[in-house]
Amino acid sequence: MKFDTPATTNPIDQLKVVGKATDRIDGPLKTTGTAPYAYERHDVVPNQAYGYIVGAAIARGRIVLMDLAAAKAAPGVLAIVTAENAGRLGKGKFNTAPLLGGPEIQHYHQAVGVVVAETFEQARAAAQLVRVEYARVKGAFDLESAKETAGPAKQLAGGGTSDSKVGDFDAAFTAAPVQFDATYTTAYESHSMMEPHATIAAWEGDQLTIWTSNQMIAWAAGDMAQTLGISREKVRVISPFIGGGFGGKLFLRADALMAALGARAAGRPVKVALQRALMPNNTTHRAATIQRIRLGATKEGKLTAIAHESWSGDQPDGKPETAAMQTRSLYAGADRMTAHRLAVLDLPEANAMRAPGEAPGMAALEIAMDEMAEKLGLDPVEFRILNDTQVVPDNPAKPDSSDPQSKKPEQTKRVAQPPFSKRQFVECLRLGAKRFGWEKRHSKPGGVRDGRWLVGIGMAAAFRDNLLTKSAARVRLDGRGTVTVETDMTDIGTGSYTIIAQTAAEMMGVPLEQVVVRLGDSTFPESCGSGGQWGGNNSTAGVYAACMKLREAIAQKAKFNVGDAVFADGQVRVGDRRMSLAEVAGEQGMVAEDFIEYGDLDKQYHQSTFGAHFVEVGVDLYTGVTRVRRMLAVCACGRILNPKTARSQVIGAMTMGVGAALMEELAVDKRIGFFVNHDLATYEVPVHADIPHQEVIFLDETDPISSPMKAKGVAELGICGVAAAVANAIYNATGVRVRNYPMTLDKLLDGLPEIA
């Protein structure tokens, strides 16, 4: 089905099932420990051996010598695979650095081998007997000092141009009565999802099956084939449950490749889980950024000049963090520019983490807006409202969302300033301010005390683009009236199982219990997968398309005019004539498959999601420790398919935003070139005690331009702006303006009031 005109009334609008706060259908499995994750599939193949990965001990250089004798002789060892005996390997389309290093080493903890043994204990012990001699070479590990060498990026994730320009920023900035210029930094962050990357690999002749933990089944299958140099048809990827990803499991990673290589070498199935301590350096992370923001405004607070430049680093052939992207479309202002600069660093591979671009970009921009509001003597909420725009002032090139890594030729027919499909930004700001009690805010910082706590409130805008991408599904109807959906879509905690079931139930007129959803298998039709907050809208739209086709087939078989047929209560009917779906399907059952694909509606209209974050913090007068006391998010992001799971996505994102604001930072040892704090004790992510009760409000909204579901992305909007709202609250509490994330106490101490 091609979606190229705005949606009109369709079966989803009945909202009998869709749009209702619904418990997750996979809830009973997940809460009883019976949902099977990748490493746990004892059931799928017998005789599984254990693989243990050896990580490189240097950041850059070569392996001079590998001595495997002791490891090979260790009890239980079945095989050892290194670059020397792995055979020729390619590199996946989505990988920047090779997954198996040797002799060249591209980054610290890059896999240099896998040891396969009968038991986990044996594999681990033998892996520790592998001796590797390295020759190090000098590397670049410091973004600040590499900044000068950074150039425009050849490629942006999602396509688009590195730089943009409207009017004459320099002149407008110089002429602006009120000017603001500041530089911010955001930290290297680790996805740190709770389930480590894990895979069981089994070969049957030349056919490979992997049970793995991956957000993008098709990418994983394609890159596995490409890396091994086999045909894509020879690779089956199965990933029905994923213990979190956040972008860290978008790609084929070393666990999967090394399991496949290990299984081939050992001649039996092999399971590999990446050790937690390898994850930050072995896999991808969110790049750190340096961002300079300049704002020029009239005395009344109208922005006239906006510049946002961002520097980040990555491995050679990597891509920059697109931190200035949102600045092209969030606020009005006639003269403007954005630029992304990429430095080559020899740190591990940078890549997407929840809301790549916007999460760090909004973290900086929204402090700048707070600072500018103060400079202008304006309320931060009013200042943002004053600079609202209903068209995109600096039209960014459209990302090709199904493949954010690919280069896309420039649009030929680009609308200069396209309108937004829907933009209820101001409504979010106003409602949030009202609900949070914004009017009680002391505009002068440091004015509120609660015992030993300096209390402040802050806010920030939330903004993230909505991405459209092709997504397919297959729907079966059987002789008992059960509807089964199959798609290679994944559920990484997003609630895909549930919203897909709701969609199919709504479309086919059956109760939710009559729907079975099967996900995460490369033998199923190719979906959009989970990433970039595109999963919910696009995967359900694909299911919508397949259901439409099934409805037609049913109507035809039952000899109804499909236009008149009503699907409800497990029946199809026109007027008085009715047939149960079970009956229509018969013994044989029926099946339909289709996909959603998009025309150019997203070129005619810019599609984004909007929101506002409000945060109250307490800062300990003595120690500078910050604790979040209240949080509210107001979101306008299309139709909410399941308010329960959507809310969870937002609170989870808010939580990760608090982490970015207050504690998360992969610390770089700039001599050696690695992230030093590479475990969950030293890389701190928020725990229960860090997070207060969180409130989320969704504006009642449908966006008929986005898809037949009229829904948009939710899961990443929730993180965009949170860190800045926390930072602004800290400023409001203390009067100390910190421009470097995370805002740990050491950065506040010098500015806190003297104490006796």
Partner 1 sequence: MKAFTFERANSPAEAAAAAVRNPGSRFIAGGTNLLDLMKLEIETPSHLIDVNGLALDKIEATAEGGLRIGALVRNTDLAADERVRRDYGVLARALVAGATGQLRNMATTAGNLLQRTRCPYFYDTNQPCNKRAPGSGCGAIGGFSRQHAIVGVSEACIATHPSDMAVAMRVLDAVVETIRPDGSTRSIPIAEFHRLPGDEPHIDHLLTPGELITAVTLPKPAGGKQIYLKVRDRASFAFALISVAAIIFPDGTGRVALGGVAHKPWRVEEAESEMPRGAKALTARLLAGAKPTPENAFKLKLVERALASVLAEAKGA
Partner 2 sequence: MNHPDDLEISRREFLVMGTAAVAVTMLPPLAEAQAPPAAPVVKPAAVKLAFNVNGKARELEVDTRTTLLDALREHLNLTGSKKGCDQGQCGACTVLVGGRRIVSCLTLAVMHQGDSITTIEGLGTPDHLHPMQAAFVKCDGFQCGYCTPGQICSAVAMLQEVKAGIPSHATSDLTAAPQLTPAELRERMSGNICRCGAYSNIAEAITEVAGRTA
Q: Does 749 bind partner 1 (CB under 8 A)?
A: yes
For the chain, how big is the Rg over CA atoms in Å?
26
* Residue 128 in the binding site for partner 1 (CB under 8 A): yes
Given the rule CB under 8 A, which of 39-47, 119-127, 359-367, 705-713 is the region that contacts partner 1? 119-127
| 5 vs 707: CA distance, rounded Å | 9
Q: Does 142 bind partner 1 (CB under 8 A)?
A: no
Residue closer to partner 1 (CB basis): 23 or 121 = 121
Residue 493 CB, shortest distance to ligand FES, in Å, is: 5
Q: Which stretch binds partner 1 (CB under 8 A): 429-437, 574-582, 616-624, 728-736?
A: 616-624
- Chain positions 191 to 230 lying near ligand FES, rule: CB under 6 A, are 194
Which run of H or of E encompasses 582? helix 581-585
465: helix, strand or coil: strand
- Cis peptide leading into residue 742 (ω within 30°): yes
Q: Which residues in the 266-285 window bind partner 1 by CB under 8 A?
A: 277
Cβ atoms of 306 and 276 closer than 8 Å: no
Tell me how crowded residue 546 is: count the other CB atoms within 10 A of its CB: 29
Q: Is the peptide bond before 103 cis (omega within 30 degrees of 0)?
A: yes
CB-based contact 420:601 (threshold 8 Å):
no
Residue whose CB is less far from ligand FES, 324 or 685: 685
The reply to whether 687 sits near ligand FES by the rule CB under 6 A is no
Nearer to ligand FES, 64 or 194 (CB): 194
Tell whether residue 518 is a contact of partner 1 (CB under 8 A).
no
Q: Per CB under 8 A, does 699 bind partner 1? A: no
Task: Return the sign of the alpha-carbon dihedral for residues 462, 465, 466, 469.
Answer: negative
24 binds, among partner 1, ligand FES, partner 2, none (CB under 5 to 8 A by kind): partner 2
Q: Which is nearer to partner 1, 284 or 744 (CB)?
A: 744
What is the CB neighbour count within 10 angstroms for residue 454? 26
Contact status: 751 vs partner 1 (CB under 8 A): no
- Does residue 542 touch ligand FES according to CB under 6 A? no
**Coil vs helix vs strand at 717:** coil
Q: Give the whole-angstrom CA distance, residue 100 versus residue 129.
A: 19
Task: Tell the smallest beta-carbon distance from residue 46 to ligand FES (Å).
Answer: 26
Name which of 244 and 419 has its Cβ closer to ligand FES: 244
Pairing of strands 694-698, 626-636: parallel
- Find out whether 240 and 521 touch, Cβ atoms under 8 Å: yes
| Binder of partner 1 out of 93, 344, 679, 735 (CB under 8 A) | 679
Quick one: 127 exposed, middle or buried, by C-beta within 10 A (0-12, 13-18, 19+)?
buried
Closest approach, Cβ 414 to partner 2, in A, equals: 37
Here the tokens at position 225 are: 């084939």
Phi and psi dihedrals of 132, rounded to 5? -125, 130
DSSP for 611-680 reads EEEEEEEEEETTT--EEEEEEEEEEE-BB-S-HHHHHHHHHHHHHHHHHHHHT--PPEETTTTEES--ST
- Of 423 and 647, which CB lies nearer to partner 2 in the complex structure? 647
Judged by beta carbon distances under 5 to 8 A according to partner kind, the member of partner 2, partner 1, ligand FES, none in contact with residue 233 is none
Q: How far is the CB of 35 from partner 2 (least distance, A)?
A: 6
From the candidates 695, 701, 716, 754, which is the catalytic residue? 716
Q: Which is nearer to partner 2, 583 or 679 (CB)?
A: 679
The encoded tokens of residue 151 equal 């150039």
Binding flag, residue 657, partner 1 (CB under 8 A)? no
Residue 452 found at the interface with partner 1 (CB under 8 A): yes
Among 493, 520, 542, 657, binds ligand FES (CB under 6 A): 493
Structure tokens at 263: 């299984």
Give me the least distance between CB of 194 and ligand FES, in Å please: 4
Q: Report the distance separating Cα 290 and Cα 40, nearest Å.
A: 41
Q: Tell me whether residue 128 or residue 183 sits nearer to partner 2 (CB atom).
A: 128
* Long-range Cβ contact pairs of 223-227 (< 8 A, separation 24 or more): 223/92, 223/93, 223/94, 223/95, 223/251, 223/252, 224/92, 224/252, 224/256, 224/257, 224/260, 226/90, 226/91, 226/92, 226/93, 227/89, 227/90, 227/91, 227/92, 227/95, 227/99, 227/252, 227/257
Q: For ligand FES, which residue of 36, 103, 244, 570 counts as binding (CB under 6 A)?
A: 244
Residue of the chain from 409, 563, 587, 681 that contacts partner 1 (CB under 8 A): 681
Beta strand 303-314 with 289-297 is antiparallel
Asked about 144 being catalytic, the answer comes back as no
Of the candidate spans 418-426, 485-493, 502-510, 688-696, the one that interacts with partner 1 by CB under 8 A turns out to be 688-696
Minimum distance, C-beta of residue 280 to ligand FES, in the bound complex (Å): 15
The contact mask relative to ligand FES for 551-580 (x = CB under 6 A, - = no) is: ------------------------------
Q: What's the angle, vertex CA 529, arms to CA 525 and CA 533, rounded to 5?
A: 145
Q: Could you tell me the smallest distance in angstroms from the CB atom of residue 109 to partner 1?
A: 9
Active site residues: 716
**Interface ranges with partner 1 (CB under 8 A):** 57-58, 75, 121, 124-125, 128, 277, 452, 620, 622-625, 627, 662-663, 667-669, 671-672, 676-679, 681-682, 684-690, 742, 744-746, 749-750, 752, 755-756
Query: Where do contacts with ligand FES occur on this chain (CB under 6 A)?
Result: 194, 244, 493
